[in-house]
Structure 1
């Protein structure tokens, strides 16, 4: 693992704390570092500066040079997420979206295990744990009227078995259900799993 840090004191601190990591004091924009450290042969580049634009450019540049995968932190402008995807960046990470997802998770039903938003918040992917209060506990998926507002994409049993459910799947306590829905139907979904 190689860490490139432009601040000398920070680079020195990282070098002391993480002796198994190669820490380089310099700028990722310096092409000599790319050549000297042979960064193009890296499996992954993660750009985590405070500058969204630099992170996008660096991650995109790494991919163009041949780095297998790239990740860019989008910290200040969530509008850059779609732009980052256009630049062949494998994983643009938005602190804003992560924060919103966490807040929404706590505001919604207590049975929600996780919530992720995709496509600039238009699609929501819920991970629910079925509890004893679930209206359809013991009933088959085909008997649940989702009204075309959601798709149950996957189920994970408490023993770890995961599968794509058929209409004959029967909801059991402690099953984890992965459900996809348009953001506009979030109240419907919340009511279904409340």
Structure 2
């Protein structure tokens, strides 16, 4: 597949990395020569310095033969025009654009992005996606990540094992026998910042970050088995009133009527603006690092602080201060991957990465075959994939233990006729099953082929 990525920033470089790993022909356009040089030196991609919406530059990037354009520059307007030019002049089949300005997405302008006006096939709003991701984490206290799949019937949960975790130091093959009520499948372990795709002989150790799959109705029981029985937050402090903080406050008001939120914003004009648009959220003007303001926000009685300013360092410090003054849990927005090794030692409970979330959203529209959903884990070491098994697939009517899967692929669960089946070696996949699996980055292409529609299907 020939892909043009407009923008070599964090999201664009992340997308380019995923696509290049899958042996796609990728061209990246950016006006910054240093970013293009860095990408060209580290990835198997073609770099092009220029303006992404320029017809001449897009032609040079291979737009006449491109299958897909992904516009993720810092400018919404450049992204929109790049997609328009790609459609009007070069008939690029699929166009994806990142749009950050929420006014473009107002329902009253819903016709703007129609095929007759500005033909963009997929619009990605990072602020909305990040706010949704934070909302999901709030639903499962004690988890640092939560991914809903199969129309909400299945969840993939990320949790940290502490010293008191009852199921550490136990080979995974023994978990079912020792804990018969624990109906889960362990998908991945991150130990000392090193990802592991486990086999039956591996075991979890204190300090490990573990991803597991479970039926949604069993998540509470599974969390208890990991030693996490925290209650859902009823009082929340949001630090940062930008698009993410504001969208999160709106989501809490609309979907969590029993939750009380206080939002701290340092800009007077912005604070007044969002205060007029929020109904139940108390907006406080000031610095999220001010102890007196945290006290005014009743930090001691708050279960969760969510720090989502534009500065990683402010988010980290605000989270740590809030916990120091009595808040139970911190969810922190961090863009820089260099901070990742520090997070668990600092005491931050969950990290939100806008670029990973945006990349996962875009990947859902790129993956081929009967792929329903894709979620990238920890800077792309693996992907959680939901796919539909077809009658022509090599996976069906065979016990999982007899399927020739790559060693770094784990099938976690199936959904059949609305019923969740946690995968075991004897489990047999049937046609039309929704299959939830984890695949290391190197094996994603093989999984796509396994779920692809073959000619005999027609």
CA distance in structure 2 between the partners assigned to 1:171 and 1:184 by the alignment:
23
CA distance in structure 2 between the partners assigned to 1:96 and 1:52 by the alignment:
13
C-alpha contact 2:369 2:448 (8 A) present in aligned 1:
no
After superposition, what is the alpha-carbon deviation per residue over 1:146-191, rounded to whole angstroms, capped at 9, x for unaligned? Answer: 14231112222231x2232222322123322221232222222222
Which residue is equivalent to 1:146? 405
Which residue is equivalent to 2:268? 8
**3-state DSSP of counterpart to 2:379:** coil
C-alpha displacement of 1:133: 4.0
Which residue is equivalent to 2:302? 42
Spell out the pairing of 1:125-136 with structure 2 (5 A cutoff).
125-136=384-395
**Given the two structures, how large is their TM-score scaled by the length of structure 1?**
0.86
Which residue is equivalent to 2:370? 111
Which residue is equivalent to 1:60? 320
CA distance in structure 1 between the partners assigned to 2:416 and 2:323 by the alignment:
38
Q: Does 2:86 match 1:86?
A: no
After superposition, what is the alpha-carbon deviation per residue over 1:37-79, rounded to whole angstroms, capped at 9, x for unaligned? Answer: 221221111111111111122123323333222111124x233
CA distance in structure 2 between the partners assigned to 1:114 and 1:78 by the alignment:
24
**3-state DSSP of counterpart to 2:376:** strand
Aligned-CA RMSD value: 2.1
Sort the Cα spacing of 1:134 and 1:62 in 2 relative to 1 into closer, same or farther, 3 A.
Answer: farther
C-alpha contact 2:359 2:376 (8 A) present in aligned 1:
no
After superposition, what is the alpha-carbon deviation per residue over 1:105-145, rounded to whole angstroms, capped at 9, x for unaligned? Answer: 32222422222233432232222222344232333323311
CA distance in structure 2 between the partners assigned to 1:123 and 1:81 by the alignment:
17
CA distance in structure 2 between the partners assigned to 1:28 and 1:182 by the alignment:
39
Q: Which runs of 5+ in 2 are unaligned?
A: 1-260, 453-458
Instruction: Name the stretch that deviates more: 113-122 or 5-14.
Output: 113-122
**3-state DSSP of counterpart to 2:385:** strand
Q: Which runs of 5+ in 1 are unaligned?
A: none
Q: Does 2:423 match 1:165?
A: yes
**3-state DSSP of counterpart to 2:374:** strand
Which residue is equivalent to 2:71? none
**What is the aligned counterpart of 1:183 among 441, 447, 454?**
441
C-alpha displacement of 1:94: 0.9
C-alpha contact 1:44 1:68 (8 A) present in aligned 2:
yes
Which residue is equivalent to 1:17? 277
Instruction: Name the stretch that deviates more: 31-40 or 107-116.
Output: 107-116
CA distance in structure 2 between the partners assigned to 1:189 and 1:89 by the alignment:
34
Aligned residues: 192
C-alpha contact 1:81 1:94 (8 A) present in aligned 2:
no
CA distance in structure 2 between the partners assigned to 1:163 and 1:99 by the alignment:
30
Sort the Cα spacing of 1:178 and 1:82 in 2 relative to 1 into closer, same or farther, 3 A.
Answer: farther
Kindly indicate whether structure 1 or structure 2 has the higher relative contact order, using CA contacts under 8 Å at least 6 residues apart: 1
Sort the Cα spacing of 1:128 and 1:38 in 2 relative to 1 into closer, same or farther, 3 A.
Answer: same
